Amino acid sequence: MQRHLISAADLSRDDAVLILDTAEEMARVADRPIKKLPTLRGRTVVNLFFEDSTRTRISFEAAEKRLSADVINFSAKGSSVSKGESLKDTAQTLEAMGVDAVVIRHGASGAPYRLATSGWIDAAVINAGDGTHQHPTQALLDAFTMRRRLVGRDTGLGQDLAGRRVTIVGDVLHSRVARSNVDLLHTLGAEVTLVAPPTLLPVGVESWPCAVSYDLDSTLPKSDAVMMLRVQRERMNAAFFPTEREYSRRYGLDGDRMAKLPEHAIVMHPGPMVRGMEITAEVADSDRCTAVEQVANGVSIRMAVLYLLLGGNEPAAAPIRTEEK
């Protein structure tokens, strides 16, 4: 494992499988009456959020607390960043406090990389989403969810997603979730197809390790998982499609479309969902939709990442038994 987690593309197949397998062990902690491990006792983790977040922020905090780390939450709103303080000054403040890891979400693509390589700070850096670039822990929790649902929990250990067909639908252009998933799923041997209007596909997508289609209906029957993306209006400065109705009609997932999926296939969404736009309430609330499960799995994945980047040499889940003695 590397010292930082900046991009899903940096993970080798072995790294990715190690994180997924460790997350399985962490998930077992959630089934215990006391959901806590002493692994990161005495270590300090800062959650540095310059951009809005619900799931990712709460889930990192839950993961850190379950590993007994000391947690500092920082959001740009209400901090000196709104007075014009730079990332460098913020980083040096954290360094002065002796933090061991920084979880950073930032609107600028490349901010976590800058933090990890600048020498401003000695801590491990975990990217929790940077601009339209990467969101590696999201891709990991998505792969974990797919592996559990499509490969099976018992056979899951050491298994990957080789040959599974994953369709990612919607605003690929602005989506760090799509980029991270394409990278990780490719590493794990899955076959990814992106479906989007041509205006919402990035320039150069032909060189990505995946297929591209403009036709959702013909792709669905060949999918083991379909991942719906939110249209990221906050990152748009122009009109990328005629109307919302037109977008939903062609690229939204409703009950009729969902019926075109094979019986075993799952519907995924990283959240936040815009019901009525990319996904109807009927689909979002159906048993096939894993959105809520993805959130729960996010805690296990983030525990695994924190443990592997910061943790000791002991097995992840063993210390609790030592304590119980």
Rule CB under 6 A: say whether 132 interacts with ligand NCD.
no
* 3-class state of residue 152 by DSSP: coil
CB of 113 to ligand NCD, least distance (A): 17
CB of 252 to ligand NCD, least distance (A): 15
- Residue 156 or 298 having the CB closest to ligand NCD: 298
Q: How far, in Å, CA of 5 to CA of 301, rounded?
A: 12
**Contact with ligand NCD (CB under 6 A) among 1, 30, 36, 55:** 55
Rule CB under 6 A: say whether 271 interacts with ligand NCD.
yes
**Contact with ligand NCD (CB under 6 A) among 186, 232, 254, 260:** 232
Rule CB under 6 A: say whether 138 interacts with ligand NCD.
yes
- The answer to whether 261 and 286 have CB atoms below 8 angstroms apart is no
CB of 101 to ligand NCD, least distance (A): 19
**Contact with ligand NCD (CB under 6 A) among 129, 156, 252, 311:** 129
**Dihedral (C-alpha) 120, 122, 124, 129: value to the nearest 10 degrees?**
-10
Q: How far, in Å, CA of 56 to CA of 58, rounded?
A: 6
- Residue 39 or 294 having the CB closest to ligand NCD: 294
- The CA radius of gyration of the chain, in Å to the nearest whole number, is 20
* Angle, vertex CA 14, rays to CA 154 and CA 270, nearest 5: 70
**Contact with ligand NCD (CB under 6 A) among 135, 148, 164, 302:** 135
Q: b vs e for 155-189, b when ≥16 Cβ sit within 10 Å of the residue's Cβ?
A: ebeebbbeebbbbbbbbbbbbbbbbbbbbbbbbbe
Distance of CA 265 to the CA centre of its chain: 20
CB of 72 to ligand NCD, least distance (A): 21
CB of 236 to ligand NCD, least distance (A): 12
Minimal CB distance residue for ligand NCD: 230
Site for ligand NCD in 162-181 (CB under 6 A): 176-177
Give the binding-site size for ligand NCD (rule: CB under 6 A): 11
CA-CA-CA-CA torsion sign (10, 8, 149, 164): negative
Q: What does the block give as tokens for 259? A: 């019926």
CB of 266 to ligand NCD, least distance (A): 17
Given the rule CB under 6 A, which residues bind ligand NCD?
55-56, 129, 135, 138, 176-177, 230, 232, 270-271
